[in-house]
Amino acid sequence: MNSKSAVFTLTKKLARDLGFMETVYASKSNKCKHPMLQPFKYLIVIDFESTCWEQNTDGKQPEIIEFPAVLLNLRTGMIEEEFHQYVLPVENPILSDFCVNFTGIEQEAVENGVPLKTCLSLFGSWIKEVSEKRRLVFHINQKGSSAENACTFVTWSDWDLSVCLHNECTRKQLYMPEILYQWTDLRAIYRVCVQQHLSSCK
């Protein structure tokens, strides 16, 4: 299993464990008969890889080198759509040995990639196509009534969208799609659930 498959498998497991995925229990005696209610039918899971260094002493900034996203159906647990694009770094175009070993991404892959501006355009086209095909509704009010095909973006921490993509778009004077200004931080939800579980065990 490669690193991306591992990330998406972990995301599915966490989504199921935290009650994001609909669960049907065969036994009425099961203690967890009522999974947590939530408004989303779909998640779009994003997990960037970026340039990195073992010792970044001169303040080099990370650039996205891999932009993957999958559409996860929470009702079925199946990945229904995928987007994947390698991205060409321009500020520090040569990957460090540490980066290659850490991400598993080779220099040739990024050299055959596209600039971030092009990648964002391709991603926007993919989002439009998937949204029309699945009739997705983004960024609904979680406290209100949910749309039938409600969808949100999911990341593990705020780093991908709030830090990495936002900062790179700012440096390069690129337009960051408005749809990516809202997302769900699965790590934060996981921490809250763990804390609640520990509190209930006291």
Tokens linked to 167: 């900062």
Residue-level pLDDT at 187: 81
pTM of the model: 0.78
Torsion sign over Cα 144, 72, 5, 10: positive
DSSP designation for 75: T
Tokens linked to 177: 């799609």
Q: Under DSSP, is residue 114 helix (H, G, I), strand (E, B) or coil?
A: strand
Q: Give the chain's domain count.
A: 1
Residue-level pLDDT at 90: 98
DSSP designation for 147: P
Question: pLDDT grade, residue 160 (50/70/90)?
Answer: very high
Contact 109, 86 (CB under 8 A): yes
Residue with tokens 């009534």: 145
Residue-level pLDDT at 188: 76
In terms of residue numbers, what domain contains 175?
A: 3-200
Percent of the chain with pLDDT over 70: 73
Tokens linked to 192: 């809250």
At 182, which CATH number?
3.30.420.10
- Tell me how far apart the 2 most distant CA atoms of the chain are, in Å: 60
Tokens linked to 26: 């065969």
